[in-house]
Amino acid sequence: MVHYIGLLLDDVRFSAIKGTGLEEKLTTLFGGQIKSLVLEVPEELSKKILAEFPNARIDSRSYLEDLPVAFKRALFNEVVEKKTLGTEVIEAVFQKMDEIKELAAKESEYIPPPDIDTSEI
Supply the pTM of this predicted model. 0.84
Domain boundaries, given as residue ranges, for the chain = 3-107
Res 113: pLDDT = 67
Q: What is the pLDDT of residues 12-43, one digit of tens each?
A: 899 899 989 898 999 988 888 889 999 999 99
Classify 96 as helix, strand or coil.
coil
Structure confidence at residue 30 (pLDDT)? 87
What pLDDT is recorded for position 59?
95
What amino acid is encoded at 94 in this protein?
F
Is the pLDDT reported for residue 107 higher than 70?
yes
CA–CA distances in Å: residue 61 to residues 5, 6, 13, 18, 90: 11, 11, 24, 27, 20
| List of E strands, the chain | 3-9, 27-29, 34-41, 57-58, 64-65
pLDDT in tens, 61-98: 999 999 999 999 999 999 999 999 999 999 999 999 99
pLDDT for 78: 96
